Chain A
Amino acid sequence: MIKKLAVAGTAVLALTLSACGGGDTGGTPGEGATGGTLTLSISQDMKSWDLAEAGLGHSEQYYQPVFDPLLRLDQQGEVKENLATSWTYDPALTTLTLKLRTDVKFSDGSALDSTAVKTSLLHAKAGTGESAAKLKSIDDVQAPDPSTAVVKLTAPDPGLLRNFANVPGMIASSTALTAASGPVGSGPYKLDASASTAGTEYVFVGNPDYWNKKDFPFDTIVMKTLDDPTAETNALLAGQVDGASITPDRIPALEGGGLDITKFYSGIVEGLYIWDRAGKITPALADVRVRQALNYAFDTKAIVKVAKKGLGETTTQHFAPDSEAFSADLDKKYGYDPAKAKALLAEAGYAGGFDVVMPDISTLFPEAQAAMVEQLGAVGVRVQLDKIPFSQFMPSLLQGKYALSYFKTGSTDPWNVIQLLVKEKATWNPLGYKDDHALDLVNRISLATGEEQDKLYKELNEYMVDQAWDAPWNFVQDVYASSKRVQVTTQPYSMLPPIYNFKPAS
């Protein structure tokens, strides 16, 4: 009896172990320039194949195989042609005329023409997804002829072109706008629904009719959703995936495990965000000297070194180094100077400091919270932590419950930053702070182009730093780990390398 069991057990074990190596789904090293499978891990599941509900950031990669965007960014972040071969604005900057390729078909066989672009963009614009939010400036899309699409804007949108190079610019077939039975696009790959498991693994097989196959050398792309960082690290180390965005603390282990590490900036700025510049909740914050004092209070270099494991670039501004608005000199504006901070507070009448309430974020960002509480406390700002479930973190910020808090957001695109932070109705202006000078600058930026626009961007940036709009710490450095089987190039404006930046290692 026991013998029989033991034999059976050994057999099963042998069976499972003998298949060892067969589980390797990655591309075989040494293979030529094309073919093989690229397996990527993404830390969050996708929300929906419906572009109206599509997310951005870490979700972008999911959409790239199936959908082709109107434009594309090159590795320097410059806008290049893709589905649209040319693009021109009218002088008022509210009409954008796009010339489309004429040889593109959706995978359902229908033609990708201006009507399809119109239908898809207007559908996506009506949605509530992150991506849809980037299309809000669109008033209408016209299709004067099959190869010409005219986008009418309610107001100038300097960020639109870059957005058209990302998920917002992706075009879905009119027959499958909501993607109820799977996504239908014109991209380099098609979703193999039978091999995919929603929420776990998406398998994409090459689209034989794609017009630009040379940029997409892999036969198959597999995207795995691995939301646990340790599981993701294990998968990278075990060679189960070829690439994944990772947290800085995993670098030594992954480097030790023979993976390539790429570091890059995606324009995210983290630090203390001051929501209540009008002093509605915490009156002290209405005083610019107090806000400046907060900027002096943080030893941002130490924070980056310790809490961020050296991954990050200290800054005082919201605009990324790659962007037109960036100004290196501004970063010298505030340094770590607690004495000065105290002096400024005293000057503003808060010699004894003041109390603030912040949401407790130690489960999500423990290091950040530690730094914040410690260094604010050192200059007399007494932080009270409000315990809330972490699912309530974002909503409570959006509701304007807190005068200030740790936060990170941003974009390499300066207009996106303005949309995010500066406008009166901006998402991350929850208390509706209104600064007439800043808004005037924003308005002028939207109406300007070229160098004039760049100058205005810089002016806005400088004004915001002077005003101590927030107390930024650093640009967040993102880390991408990839196996030796592939070559990866990161690029500005993308949180994850776009799939056309992956090549088999030669």
Chain B
Amino acid sequence: MSVPPTDGLVVVPSAPVRRRHLMVRLLHDPVAVAALVILALLAAASVLAPVLTSHDPIRSSLFDTLAPMGPDHPLGADGVGRDVWAQLLYGARTSLAAALVAVAVAFAVGIPAGLLGGYYRGKADAILSWASNFMMAVPAIIVLLVVMAAVSQSTYVAMAVLGLIISPSVYRLIRASVVSVREELYVDAARVSGLTDGRIMRRHILPVVQAPSIIQAAQIFGVAISIQAGLAFLGLGSPSETSWGAMLNDAFANIYTAPMLLLWPALAICLTTTSLALLANALRDALGGKKVRQKSSVQRPKTSVRPARGAKSAKPAVRNLGAELLRVDNLKVTYPVDGGTRTVVDGVSLVVERGKVLGLVGESGSGKSQTAFSLLGLLPPEAGMQADGIRFDGDELGGLGRGAMNRFRGKRIAYIPQEPMSNLDPSFTVGSQLVEPVRQHLRISARAAKAKVLSLLERVGITEPGRVFDSYPHQISGGMAQRVLIAGAVSCDPDLLIADEPTTALDVTVQAEILDLIRSLQDERNMGVILVTHDFGVVADICDRVTVMRSGKLVETADVAELFANPQADYTRMLLASTLEDAKPRTALKGPAVGRRDRTA
């Protein structure tokens, strides 16, 4: 094993990456910073109200009614001569504190219920879920109307009730988080390690719940502020409590006389709710990590094909073969990373012959799948692709637009994916998914297309084509799904089949059958096949030629027999040596195996 190990026993990053705390990440987002600053200012203003104004917010001075802005009343006075600035400041106290009450109640009820339901499941969970579904269907405003009209006019009481009504959303969030964490293997591992439930909750579950809770809290806070304003608008609310909602109410009465009065509380409310919403959004972003994608998901990746330099004189990178179907010269695929690009396929050239199977072998990160996708034009939009040429049966594929590529895709070049279940659209029947491209490419009637698809399904070894045709993907097994996908791939009689690890997700017995199927179809239709795999067993089973890749680069290409018999590259040799097939089995443990009726060698 002269090849340096890829599992780098010492290739750990040399300096520990600094763990960026959520807060730190948040502080790098200008929107979040702005939102935080605004909220902090509002909170500070409400706390410092007595310092910032000498006016009593409740005390009305008749002669100041609708006083304009001036030195005595920085923002003027309202319809009953109360200082608007003072009201705004003291109102922030009520509004913010009452909203906090809503948040506190919602969490005081929601968190324990969510932890209880999510962690222990069972009866408690059933009852809690039932109760929460009930609560969710209660129209909050109506209940608040009744409460405020009949029970108490206090904003705090109303907000406490709102908190209760809204608590199911907290419960659901916490429960969902707990349930998903609980399914995580590391929680299982913690249990096996003998951690108590309390410690598991504290150490493994609460931290996960923390961040979404903050988001939820911000949202509930915003909702509470809005609802307060709405209730005040309806004329409910305690007269002696200064709040933004009460200010709005007064402003509405004077809307035609002093519209500015509406501006201040509306501004305060909108600022608060918007800041909270933006903060929640920023938090979510910070949690979700930086989204790689900023560009469109459907634009074609940037591709460019350099013109063949002197068509004849240039020495082809790959030796020419008789029935050449596809020739790829010097393919390069890059992805943008922080401040640069990362090359995942670097100068790969290959040739596929009609009626032959080319194996593309490598470990994870070798770029084999990226190579396959780039040939189909299926790279994600942020990827960049370059090649000296991609010639398919006389046509140049490089640089084709989406529409032009669709003349080849599905019709002449087909694709078999790796994971059968996730590659069928769960919302449509198997039949309709297969019929759609057939009709589009072959321009035949729905009836003819259905007949063709049914016969294809039968061809790929499905015993009840009619039933499978009408089934939804979740109603069929993984092996069956892979047969369906193969049927879909060959439905328009393609010349080239690109199969990306078509058997990796399957059980070994199913894998053998699927390989048999691909082999027979390929044989029957004289297709060229690119088979991407990491399994040398599969290569040995089906391939005619093999290209070994590593870290985006081509390592060697050879006929299959030659490769196994006489690998040229060290890397290939290392890989072949790693296969366990011919490793010596361990012998039975000496000693205690008495009295067993095993068949011993």
In the complex, A touching B, CB below 8 Å? Answer: yes
**Which residues on A are within 8 Å of B, measured CB to CB?**
229-230, 233, 247, 249-250, 252-254, 302-303, 306-307, 360-363, 366-367, 369-371, 373-375, 385, 387, 389, 391
Q: Could you say which of B60-68, B184-192, B443-451, B533-541 contacts chain A?
A: B60-68
- B60 and A303: CB pair below 8 A? no
- B240 and A387: CB pair below 8 A? yes
Beyond A229-B253, A253-B257, A370-B60, 17 additional pairs, beta carbon < 8 A:
A230-B255, A247-B253, A253-B256, A254-B256, A302-B63, A303-B62, A306-B63, A307-B65, A360-B240, A363-B237, A363-B249, A367-B65, A369-B60, A370-B80, A370-B81, A374-B60, A387-B153
**Which residues on B are within 8 Å of A, measured CB to CB?**
59-63, 65, 79-82, 149-150, 153, 235, 237-240, 249-250, 252-257
- A367 and B238: CB pair below 8 A? no
- A233 and B240: CB pair below 8 A? no
Give bound CA distance, A302 to B61, whole Å.
11
Interface residue from B59, B63, B153, B239 paired with A366 (Cβ < 8 Å)? B239
Q: Which residues of B contact A233 (CB under 8 A)?
A: 256
Given the contacts A303-B62, A307-B65, A385-B240, A391 and B149 also touching, CB distance less than 8 Å: yes
Q: List 28 A-B contacts (CB under 8 A).
A: A249-B256, A250-B256, A252-B257, A253-B257, A302-B62, A302-B63, A303-B62, A306-B81, A307-B62, A307-B65, A360-B240, A361-B239, A366-B250, A367-B60, A367-B62, A367-B65, A367-B79, A369-B80, A370-B62, A370-B80, A370-B81, A371-B62, A374-B60, A374-B61, A374-B62, A387-B238, A387-B240, A389-B150
Give bound CA distance, A375 to B150, whole Å.
32
- A306 and B255: CB pair below 8 A? no
What 4 A-B pairs are tightest by C-beta distance, nearest first? Answer: A253-B256, A370-B60, A362-B239, A370-B80
Interface residue from B60, B61, B237, B254 paired with A249 (Cβ < 8 Å)? B254
- B239 and A360: CB pair below 8 A? yes
Q: Which residues of A contact B256 (CB under 8 A)?
A: 233, 249-250, 252-254
The B interface is mostly helix, strand or loop, or mixed, namely loop
Q: Which residues of A contact B255 (CB under 8 A)?
A: 230
Q: Which residues of B contact A370 (CB under 8 A)?
A: 60-62, 80-82
- A363 and B235: CB pair below 8 A? yes
Q: Which residues of A contact B60 (CB under 8 A)?
A: 366-367, 369-370, 373-374
Given the contacts A253-B256, A366-B79, A387 and B239 also touching, CB distance less than 8 Å: yes
Give bound CA distance, A498 to B249, whole Å.
32
User: Closest residue of chain A to B65, judged by CB?
Assistant: A306
Q: Which residues of A contact B257 (CB under 8 A)?
A: 249-250, 252-253
Q: Which residues of A contact B253 (CB under 8 A)?
A: 229, 247, 249
- Distance from A479 Cβ to chain B, minimum over Cβ atoms (Å): 13
- Distance from B229 Cβ to chain A, minimum over Cβ atoms (Å): 15
- B63 and A362: CB pair below 8 A? no
Give bound CA distance, A375 to B253, whole Å.
23
The residue in A253, A303, A366, A374 that gathers the most chain B C-beta atoms within 10 A of its C-beta is A366
- Distance from A244 Cβ to chain B, minimum over Cβ atoms (Å): 14
Given the contacts A249-B253, A249-B254, A362 and B62 also touching, CB distance less than 8 Å: no
Q: Which residues of B contact A306 (CB under 8 A)?
A: 62-63, 65, 81
- B240 and A367: CB pair below 8 A? no
User: Closest residue of chain A to B252, judged by CB?
Assistant: A230
User: Closest residue of chain B to A362, judged by CB?
Assistant: B239
- A389 and B240: CB pair below 8 A? no
Q: Which residues of A contact B65 (CB under 8 A)?
A: 306-307, 367
Q: Which residues of B contact A307 (CB under 8 A)?
A: 62, 65, 80
Give bound CA distance, A370 to B253, whole Å.
16
Give bound CA distance, A306 to B80, whole Å.
9
Give bound CA distance, A250 to B81, whole Å.
18
